[in-house]
């Protein structure tokens, strides 16, 4: 029995419907991911389900007494009335704002006040929110957390989340994953975070060209089925086009043929024309490319004992690192930990309090600013890309700006619109278009993945991976980090930074191994005048021999356990299990990676000693 049923629903803005004749049943406990291109109507669909936007046609049936809560995608106000509401919200404390999620008539002083107070404090604690802070004092990321807490505190039967991971750091995203995995109600969420999507979704619902299609199973299963469906659709459309061309040619034959034409055949041709006209082609693909300039010097940055503090609080303490041409460095850490500060130090926008930063020769940086400060809302999209010029030069070849913008899915009408009318995803695409229109051998990308749809994300991954220059990347997208970066700098708090080889998963594994390292050995260098000891081949002790003999079996057992748990956690049924079981399995998977690495290193060490003796 569904808790909500969307039936024959249609909604249009402009001449094309966002969706039409849509049907969606939501069952208790389901975790449904709603995916689709930016601007296809996903947010509008959530609002219609929540009862905030009236449908043009169709109905939304809700189970009697159903509690629904929705997290909006936007953090900041977009119109005058919303601005007034935002101004009022800014004067409230975080605690007061979250309490509003329990309803306008909640009495925290009444009989159930203690229980409601505990709900609020629990959510504040889990999202690391200070209840006494004023909402107006918060950054965009912390406002996002506050709105999320406001949606969660009412313990709804159906939770609607529109891009819940936007502006959250990785630790908060992983907490949110755990929370949703153990959430007793049903969840319909929109996200472009593929790790989040893959870990949680038990069903994929796609909004594509006005049609709502349900794909049972995991995200990985959806990708396989969708690829096959697109191939079949292309073949069907090709057959339709060929038949239509044949019939059109028949109709245009000479006078004699027209006199003897079959009226039924003409009617069939009219139907073919209508069918072809009704088919909405798959939206174009973003085509990304960087205008790579001449190569920089081999050394790009030489950072020596750099420190930076604000208001007496250290953000970066005694940090040293060398970055060479071709390196792709990812920066990770909690919001406000100093990632953007390090980028600004590297490019010279800030000066360190101590230490030195040497910059290489022939550097041509291109900077993607997460705050979008480079975009003037009054300017048109066209003027923003190339400062009013009609052409851009990409890899030495001139192109008209309109054609270049079409590569970023801006048709002519949209290209002439003001920047202020663009959605978050469109603004990010515009900023990428502006960024890539300039020659560069150093890409500095500060949260480039926010609001981008999955297809654009994957193309951006390819571009950054193939870029011949150097890349500095701040991102909370774990899949993007794993596929792009060659090393990771983690901000561990208190200004401490540590470098790890590889992406986010490599960082997790190495961090776990580092925490289990033994204490440094004592200084046992010989005293002055002492005779140096004679070196003899090291031999395995009897205990080490037995350890070496047993290691292959132990490694095999752990690998079998790892395969079993990973298969279990990848199944669609896994996240319907009790929260404690889900937590135990995921924790064990993480532990197994560390244990296996340690055993493999130990086996290599003992085997090398055995071979040398």
**Per-residue pLDDT tens over the stretch 282-324:** 555 656 666 666 788 888 999 999 999 998 889 999 999 999 9
Q: Where do the CATH 1.10.287.380 domains begin and end in the chain?
A: 542-612
Q: Which residue has the higher pLDDT, 210 or 45?
A: 45
- DSSP class of residue 281 equals P
Work out the pLDDT band at 49, boundaries 50, 70, 90: very high
Work out the pLDDT band at 54, boundaries 50, 70, 90: very high
Residues β-bridged to residue 306:
319
Residues 6+ apart with CB under 8 A from 123: 98, 129, 149, 152, 153
pLDDT at 517: 41
9 by Cβ neighbours in 10 Å (0-12 / 13-18 / 19+) ranks as buried
Q: What is the CATH number of domain 299-512?
A: 3.40.50.300
Is the whole-model pTM more than 0.85? no
| Of the listed ranges 151-155, 281-285, 547-551, the one predicted with least confidence | 281-285
Work out the pLDDT band at 255, boundaries 50, 70, 90: very low
Work out the average pLDDT over 367-381. 75
Predicted confidence (pLDDT) at residue 117 exceeds the cutoff of 90: no
Angle at 553 between CA 548 and CA 559, to 5 degrees: 120
pLDDT at 388: 75
Work out the average pLDDT over 16-31. 90
Q: Is 89 helix (H, G, I), strand (E, B) or coil?
A: helix
Q: Where do the CATH 3.40.50.300 domains begin and end in the chain?
A: 4-222, 299-512
pLDDT at 86: 56
pLDDT at 1: 85
**Phi/psi at 498 (5° precision):** -140, 140
pLDDT tens for residues 8-21? 999 987 666 788 89
Q: Which residue has the higher pLDDT, 428 or 100?
A: 100
Tell me the C-alpha distance between 138 and 124, whole Å. Answer: 14
Residue 92 and residue 135 in contact, taking contact as beta carbons nearer than 8 Å:
yes
Percent of the chain with pLDDT over 90: 28
Q: What is the mean pLDDT of the chain?
A: 80
Predicted confidence (pLDDT) at residue 398 exceeds the cutoff of 90: no
pLDDT at 25: 95
Is the domain defined by 542-612 classed in CATH 1.10.287.380? yes
CATH class of 4-222: alpha beta
């Amino acid at each position: 029995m569904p808790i909500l049923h969307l039936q024959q629903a249609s909604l249009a803005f402009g001449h094309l419907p966002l969706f039409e004749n849509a049907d969606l049943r939501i069952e208790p406990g389901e975790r449904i991911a709603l995916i689709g291109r930016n601007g296809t109507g996903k947010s509008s669909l959530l609002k219609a389900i929540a009862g905030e936007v009236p449908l043009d046609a169709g109905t939304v049936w809700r189970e009697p007494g159903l509690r629904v809560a929705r997290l909006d995608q936007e953090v900041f106000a977009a119109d005058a009335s919303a601005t007034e509401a935002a101004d009022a919200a800014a004067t409230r404390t975080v605690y007061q704002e979250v309490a509003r999620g329990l309803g306008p008539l909640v009495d925290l002083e009444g009989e159930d006040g203690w229980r409601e107070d505990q709900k609020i404090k629990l959510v504040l604690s889990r999202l690391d929110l200070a209840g006494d802070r004023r909402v107006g004092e918060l950054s965009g990321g912390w406002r996002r957390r506050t709105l999320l807490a406001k949606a969660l505190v009412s313990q709804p039967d159906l939770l609607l989340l529109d891009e819940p991971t936007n502006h959250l750091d990785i630790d908060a995203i992983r907490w949110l994953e755990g929370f949703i995995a153990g959430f007793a109600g049903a969840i319909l969420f929109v996200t472009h975070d593929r790790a989040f999507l893959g870990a949680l979704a038990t069903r994929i619902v796609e909004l594509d060209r006005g049609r709502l299609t349900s794909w049972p199973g995991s995200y990985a299963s959806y990708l396989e089925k969708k690829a096959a469906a697109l191939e079949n659709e292309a073949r069907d459309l090709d057959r339709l086009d060929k038949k239509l061309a044949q019939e059109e040619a028949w109709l245009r034959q000479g006078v004699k043929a027209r006199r003897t034409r079959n009226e039924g055949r003409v009617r069939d041709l009219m139907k073919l024309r209508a069918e072809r006209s009704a088919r909405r082609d798959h939206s174009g693909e973003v085509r990304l490319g960087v205008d790579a300039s001449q190569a920089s010097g081999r050394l790009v940055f030489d950072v020596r004992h750099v420190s930076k503090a604000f208001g007496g609080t250290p953000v970066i303490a005694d940090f040293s690192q060398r970055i060479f041409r071709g390196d792709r460095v990812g920066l990770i850490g909690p919001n406000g930990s100093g990632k953007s500060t390090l980028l600004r130090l590297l490019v010279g926008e800030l000066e360190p309090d101590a230490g030195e930063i040497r910059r290489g020769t022939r550097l041509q940086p291109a900077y993607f600013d997460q705050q979008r400060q480079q975009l003037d809302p009054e300017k048109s999209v066209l003027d923003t890309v190339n400062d009013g010029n009609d052409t851009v030069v990409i890899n030495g070849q001139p192109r008209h700006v309109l054609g270049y913008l079409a590569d970023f899915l801006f048709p002519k009408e949209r290209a002439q619109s003001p920047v202020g009318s663009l959605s978050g995803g469109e603004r990010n695409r515009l900023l990428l278009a502006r960024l890539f229109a300039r020659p560069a051998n150093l890409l500095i990308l500060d949260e480039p993945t926010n609001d981008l749809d999955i297809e654009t994300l994957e193309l951006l991954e390819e571009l950054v991976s193939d870029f011949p220059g150097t890349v500095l990347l701040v991102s909370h997208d774990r899949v993007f980090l794993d596929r792009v970066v060659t090393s990771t700098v983690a901000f561990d708090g208190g200004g401490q930074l540590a470098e790890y080889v590889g992406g986010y998963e490599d960082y997790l594994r190495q961090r776990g191994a580092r925490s289990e390292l033994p204490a440094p050995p004592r200084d046992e260098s010989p005293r002055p005048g002492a005779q140096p000891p004679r070196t003899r081949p090291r031999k395995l002790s009897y205990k080490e021999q037995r350890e070496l003999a047993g290691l292959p079996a132990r490694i095999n057992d752990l690998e079998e356990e790892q395969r079993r748990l990973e298969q279990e956690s990848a199944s669609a049924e896994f996240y319907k299990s009790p929260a404690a079981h889900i937590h135990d399995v995921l924790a064990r998977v993480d532990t197994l990676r560390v244990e296996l690495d340690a055993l493999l290193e130990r086996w290599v060490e003992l085997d090398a000693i055995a071979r040398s003796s």
